[in-house]
């Protein structure tokens, strides 16, 4: 409890987080565009990261999973600083004075973010140094040690390791008139060394990059204990070997973050692939936007770093402890199963299981012809369903064409291998590889080139639009003629993330869906911006307006029957136009439940504006990633799923696909899953009108309702026949 009280100074209380900035009071006569009705986008994202961080404090989770949540928080913050802080600094430098929906200019937002990020830095470090390190030592015999803590024998072994594996790859870079200040790569850990020449009595500076080729930690098995020494301490303890003849005065760690928000003009590009490749080169040398350093770094060294990196004091983030907590992923991945989640293996849906081993296995296309199939990852296997679909398509002699969008995928992707195999067998294969997927650009370019070499028709996205939809189209020659089979998903074709991200995938051979999928791919690979769709909601073509129409339909039904309801589950919500429509629906009395994992500009519970809107966020073992939309429609529910959130970038700046669920049983299954999420009392956080998030807890005598546990249990029951596979 003492630790919890110590965190109260940061606005952190048990199971509750206060917003970094209190929202304004909403005037009674405000219109729906009034800034007080909208939370700040950037601060709301930080609120999300606080909810992730809280899992590192929650002792109900296994110890190494708490360490993992700390690493996730740190990694999330790194990306946020690169993209969002970098983007705001670029706007500030360009003299942008336009207001955000909550009424703030870029400079004002930067000031707020600096304070909020400093707060997060301090709390993460404090939690690591004063809580998790001690818990690792006391509960798991994992000792995070300093070099001074090693025995003589351990130091000898450490020195041998340094000499053999570390010393040869170090590159000390001096700074003097003959050696300009070295280039420092993004998110790299460095040592700033100040030394003097004893004979000449001259002061010198050098930088040494801490190599990451062998990881962050040097491991020492000490009886029943595992000792982990940060590699930078091993380097520091032998730093004199790099500078023989010099006297070392000080060694301090620092780390920089560069701007990843590079402005590009796709309309002017002659070659999108070449432009993205050039952007990747530019990003290496992009301006530094954050400097993390040891709190006690000498003033002269600090000023040197600020001057050389063209930074201001406000860009410094002091740390009283270890830099770069994202390296805690290595600790979280240690083979200590007693301190990890109980292993979960995604089940194979019963419809995909061969019922009679004596018979030949039924192909996946005949399964889809029987009826639409809904898959829910990571509860149900990606390998046995989606991957099987693409691999069978590649091998099936009756398949004549495969078309797919690839936004992100895994290294050594079985999907890419199957597509290459299909092309080599003479099938028509077309793949849209999105080369502007942030931080995956280089990987996607490599995959695209591999596919092209194999004879796949590859396109690299549309000018001015990111292609974010998740869809595969297979054309198969059958007795009645060619038939289109589709997979439409809410997540990427990524074998690794499907074990962690919750996502849905729909398999169908409905002719209307097939026709829309064909039209969509013609749009993606050709020129057809006004393409027509009968069932698909496609952004930016018709998706926004269709959602607005569905909301308006609920408003009209509310006026007639008083029973209207909307439930929407997505990653984030920030589109002002959609939020305004939800406020209108709330004012009309429509009950609205929003299940939003990440950030929200929407402010629920404002009297007269959004008192009929509830917003809940789930943070837990799996990352909630699926997008599902449910409209009551006077008892004839409309349920849709797909790739798009209600964010401006999804509805306006990306190609997205949302599809209606037509099968009644599958529709009911999705509605039931939404209700399970709304009833959760373990992972759920409720957003209040003041911007605070409060974690739910079960009432006395009430059973725990953990969304992820319920979904895992239901998947097992479906596999074992206790529940029909489509419910």
Per-residue pLDDT tens over the stretch 113-168: 999 999 999 999 999 999 999 999 999 999 999 999 999 999 999 999 999 999 99
Q: CA 491 to CA 288: how far, in whole Å?
A: 32
Counting the structural domains of the chain, the total is 4
Radius of gyration of the chain (CA): 27
Q: Are 62 and 236 in contact (CB under 8 A)?
A: no
Domain end marker among 535, 554, 578:
535
* pLDDT tens digits along 191-206: 999 999 998 889 999 9
Between 585 and 214, residue with greater pLDDT: 585
Residues 86 and 162 in one domain: no
Residue 10 has pLDDT above 50, yes or no: yes
Q: What is the pLDDT of residue 19?
A: 75
Picking from 169, 168, 161, 163, the residue whose alpha carbon sits closest to that of residue 221 is: 161
- Give the containing element (helix H, strand E) for 136: helix 133-140
Chain centroid offset of residue 419 CA: 26
> Rounded to the nearest 5°, which phi and psi values hold at 681?
-125, 20
Q: Are 291 and 256 in contact (CB under 8 A)?
A: yes
Whichever domain contains 165, its CATH number is 3.30.1840.10
Q: Which of 121, 376, 468, 618 is catalytic?
A: 468
Is there a domain that residue 622 lies in? yes
3-class DSSP assignment, residue 667: helix
Picking from 214, 217, 211, 165, the residue whose alpha carbon sits closest to that of residue 188 is: 211
Which single residue is written with the structure tokens 């002091």? 318
Residues 163 and 297 in one domain: yes
Domain end marker among 507, 535, 563:
535
Residue 267 has pLDDT above 60, yes or no: no
| Sign of the torsion formed by the C-alpha atoms of 62, 66, 67 and 71 | positive
Q: CA 389 to CA 48: how far, in whole Å?
A: 35
List 594's β-bridge partners, or say none.
Answer: 568, 615
Is 468 marked active-site?
A: yes
Mean of the pLDDT values across residues 292-309? 93
Share of the chain above pLDDT 90, in %: 78
3-class DSSP assignment, residue 106: helix
657-666 as b/e: b if 16+ CB within 10 A = bbbbbebeeb
User: DSSP state, 84?
Assistant: I
Q: What is the pLDDT of residue 3?
A: 46
Q: CA 695 to CA 687: how far, in whole Å?
A: 9
Q: Choose the weakest-confidence range: 152-161, 280-289, 311-320.
A: 280-289
Q: Diameter of the chain by CA atoms? A: 93
| Beta carbons within 8 Å of 393's beta carbon, 6+ residues apart | 399, 402, 418, 422, 474, 476, 485
pLDDT-derived band at 340, boundaries 50, 70, 90:
very high
Q: CA 47 to CA 457: how far, in whole Å?
A: 43
Residues 56 and 174 in one domain: no
Q: CA 314 to CA 299: how far, in whole Å?
A: 15
- Provide DSSP, 540-568: TTTHHHHHHHHHHHHHHHHHHHS--EEEE
Residues 188 and 251 in one domain: yes
Domain end marker among 79, 102, 133:
133
Tokens of 666: 């599958």
pLDDT-derived band at 626, boundaries 50, 70, 90:
very high
Tell me how far CA of residue 310 lies from CA of 255, 291, 315, in angstroms.
Answer: 15, 11, 10
* pLDDT tens digits along 454-464: 999 999 888 88
Supply the mean pLDDT for the chain: 91
Residue 517 has pLDDT above 80, yes or no: yes
Mean of the pLDDT values across residues 370-376? 96
Q: Choose the weakest-confidence range: 50-54, 182-186, 383-387.
A: 182-186
Mean of the pLDDT values across residues 38-61? 94
- Cα-based angle 148, 150, 153 (whole degrees, multiple of 5): 135
Residue 383 has pLDDT above 80, yes or no: yes
Q: What is the pLDDT of residue 375?
A: 97
- Provide DSSP, 427-491: -EEEEEE-TTSTT-HHHHHHHHHHHHHTT-EEE--BTTBEE--EEEEEEEEETTEEEEEEEEESS
Classify residue 608 as left (phi > 0), alpha (psi -120 to 50) or beta. Answer: left
Is there a domain that residue 466 lies in? yes
Whichever domain contains 119, its CATH number is 1.20.58
Residues 530 and 542 in one domain: no
Is there a domain that residue 317 lies in? no
Mean of the pLDDT values across residues 225-231? 96
| Beta carbons within 8 Å of 659's beta carbon, 6+ residues apart | 488, 506, 513, 535, 536, 537, 640, 641, 642
Residue 242 has pLDDT above 90, yes or no: yes
| Beta carbons within 8 Å of 314's beta carbon, 6+ residues apart | 114
Is there a domain that residue 105 lies in? yes
Is there a domain that residue 111 lies in? yes
Whichever domain contains 642, its CATH number is 3.30.870.10
Residues 23 and 162 in one domain: no
pLDDT-derived band at 178, boundaries 50, 70, 90:
low
List 218's β-bridge partners, or say none.
Answer: 229
Range of the domain at 73: 2-133
* pLDDT tens digits along 416-439: 999 999 999 999 999 999 887 777
Q: Are 506 and 659 in contact (CB under 8 A)?
A: yes
Between 516 and 174, residue with greater pLDDT: 516
Is there a domain that residue 63 lies in? yes
Residues 299 and 380 in one domain: no
Residue 467 has pLDDT above 50, yes or no: yes
Q: What is the pLDDT of residue 719?
A: 87
Residues 515 and 376 in one domain: yes
Tokens of 147: 């070099």
Residues 359 and 475 in one domain: yes
Residues 129 and 254 in one domain: no
3-class DSSP assignment, residue 258: strand
Picking from 621, 409, 416, 419, the residue whose alpha carbon sits closest to that of residue 495 is: 409
List 270's β-bridge partners, or say none.
Answer: none
Q: What is the pLDDT of residue 132?
A: 97
Q: What is the pLDDT of residue 223?
A: 82
Q: What is the pLDDT of residue 508?
A: 98
Picking from 460, 454, 389, the residue whose alpha carbon sits closest to that of residue 427 is: 454
Is there a domain that residue 331 lies in? no
CA dihedral of residues 107, 597, 487, 401 (deg, nearest 10) = 30
CA dihedral of residues 115, 116, 121, 127 (deg, nearest 10) = 130
Q: What is the pLDDT of residue 217?
A: 97
* Bond from prior residue into 192 cis (ω within 30 degrees of 0): no
> Rounded to the nearest 5°, which phi and psi values hold at 565?
-155, 145
Q: Own/partner pairs for 197-203, CB < 8 Å, 24+ apart?
A: 197/245, 197/246, 197/247, 198/245, 198/246, 198/247, 203/249
Q: Are 554 and 584 in contact (CB under 8 A)?
A: no
Residues 405 and 502 in one domain: yes
Q: CA 407 to CA 247: how far, in whole Å?
A: 52
Chain centroid offset of residue 378 CA: 16
| Beta carbons within 8 Å of 449's beta carbon, 6+ residues apart | none
Which single residue is written with the structure tokens 């607005």? 548
What secondary structure, in 3-state letters, does 380-444 show? ECCHHHHHHHHHHHHHCCCEEEEEEEECCCCCCCHHHHHHHHHHHCCCEEEEEECCCCCCCHHHH
Q: What is the pLDDT of residue 4?
A: 45
Is there a domain that residue 249 lies in? yes
3-class DSSP assignment, residue 225: strand
Q: What is the pLDDT of residue 512?
A: 97
Residue 263 has pLDDT above 70, yes or no: no
Residues 401 and 499 in one domain: yes
């Amino acid at each position: 409890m003492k630790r919890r009280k110590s965190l109260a100074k940061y606005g952190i209380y048990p199971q509750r987080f206060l917003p970094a900035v209190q929202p304004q009071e909403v005037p009674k006569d405000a219109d729906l565009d009034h800034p007080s009705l909208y939370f700040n986008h950037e601060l709301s994202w930080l609120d999300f990261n606080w909810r992730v961080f809280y899992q590192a404090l929650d002792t109900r989770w296994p110890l190494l999973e708490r360490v993992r949540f700390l690493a996730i928080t740190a990694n999330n913050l790194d990306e946020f600083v690169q993209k969002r802080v970098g983007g705001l600094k670029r706007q500030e430098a360009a003299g942008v004075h336009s207001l955000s929906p909550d009424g703030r200019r870029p400079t004002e937002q930067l000031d707020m973010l600096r304070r909020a990020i400093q707060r997060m830095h301090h709390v993460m470090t404090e939690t690591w140094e004063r809580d998790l390190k001690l818990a690792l030592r006391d509960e798991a015999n994992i000792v995070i040690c300093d070099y001074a803590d090693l025995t003589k024998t351990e130091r000898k072994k450490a020195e041998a390791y340094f000499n053999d594996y570390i010393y040869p790859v170090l590159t000390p870079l001096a700074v003097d008139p003959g050696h300009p200040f070295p280039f420092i790569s993004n998110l790299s850990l460095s040592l700033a060394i100040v030394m003097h020449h004893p004979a000449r009595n001259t002061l010198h500076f050098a930088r040494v990059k801490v190599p990451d080729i062998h990881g962050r930690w040097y491991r020492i098995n000490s009886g029943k204990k595992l000792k982990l020494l940060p590699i930078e301490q091993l380097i520091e303890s032998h730093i004199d070997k790099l500078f023989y003849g010099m006297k070392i005065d000080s060694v301090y760690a620092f780390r920089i973050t560069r701007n990843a928000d590079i402005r590009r003009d796709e309309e002017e590009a002659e070659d999108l692939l070449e432009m993205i490749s050039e952007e990747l080169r530019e990003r290496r040398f992009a301006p530094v936007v954050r400097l993390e350093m040891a709190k006690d770094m000498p003033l002269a060294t600090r000023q040197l770093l600020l001057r050389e990196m063209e930074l201001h004091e406000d860009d410094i983030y002091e740390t009283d402890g270890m830099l770069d907590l994202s390296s805690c992923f290595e600790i979280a991945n240690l083979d200590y199963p007693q301190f990890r989640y109980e292993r979960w293996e995604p089940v194979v849906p019963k419809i995909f299981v061969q019922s009679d081993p004596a018979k030949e296995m039924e192909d996946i296309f005949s399964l889809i012809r029987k009826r639409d199939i809904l898959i829910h990852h990571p509860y149900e296997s990606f390998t046995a369903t989606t991957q099987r679909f693409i691999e069978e398509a590649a091998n099936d002699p009756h398949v004549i064409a495969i078309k797919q969008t690839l936004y992100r995928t895994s290294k050594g992707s079985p999907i890419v291998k199957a597509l290459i195999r299909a092309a080599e067998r003479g099938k028509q294969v077309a793949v849209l590889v999105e080369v502007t997927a942030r931080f995956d650009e280089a990987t996607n370019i490599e995959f695209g080139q591999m596919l092209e070499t194999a004879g796949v028709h590859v396109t690299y996205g549309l000018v001015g639009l990111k292609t974010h939809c998740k869809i595969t189209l297979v054309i198969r020659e059958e007795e009645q003629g060619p038939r289109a089979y589709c997979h439409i998903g809410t997540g990427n074709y990524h074998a690794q993330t499907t074990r962690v991200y919750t996502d849905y995938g729909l398999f169908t051979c409905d002719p209307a869906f097939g026709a829309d999928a064909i039209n969509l791919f013609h749009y993606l690979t050709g020129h057809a911006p006004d393409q027509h769709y009968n069932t698909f909601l496609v952004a930016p073509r018709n998706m926004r307006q269709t959602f607005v129409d569905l909301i308006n339909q609920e408003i009209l039904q509310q006026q007639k029957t008083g029973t209207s309801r909307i439930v929407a589950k997505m990653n984030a919500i920030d589109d002002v136009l959609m939020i305004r429509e939800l406020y209108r629906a709330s004012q009309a009395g429509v009950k609205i439940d929003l299940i939003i994992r990440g950030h929200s500009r929407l402010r629920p519970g404002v009297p007269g504006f959004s008192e009929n809107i509830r917003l809940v966020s789930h943070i837990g073992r799996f990352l909630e990633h699926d997008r599902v939309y449910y409209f009551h429609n006077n008892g004839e529910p409309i349920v849709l799923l797909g790739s798009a959130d209600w964010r401006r970038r999804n509805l306006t700046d990306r190609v997205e696909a949302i599809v209606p669920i037509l099968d009644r049983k599958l529709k009911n299954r999705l509605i039931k899953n939404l209700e399970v999420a709304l009833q959760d009392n373990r992972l759920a956080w409720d957003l209040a009108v003041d911007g605070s998030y409060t974690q739910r807890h079960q009432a006395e005598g009430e059973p725990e309702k953990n969304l992820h546990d319920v979904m895992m249990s239901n998947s097992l029951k479906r596999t074992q026949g206790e529940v029909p596979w489509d419910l």
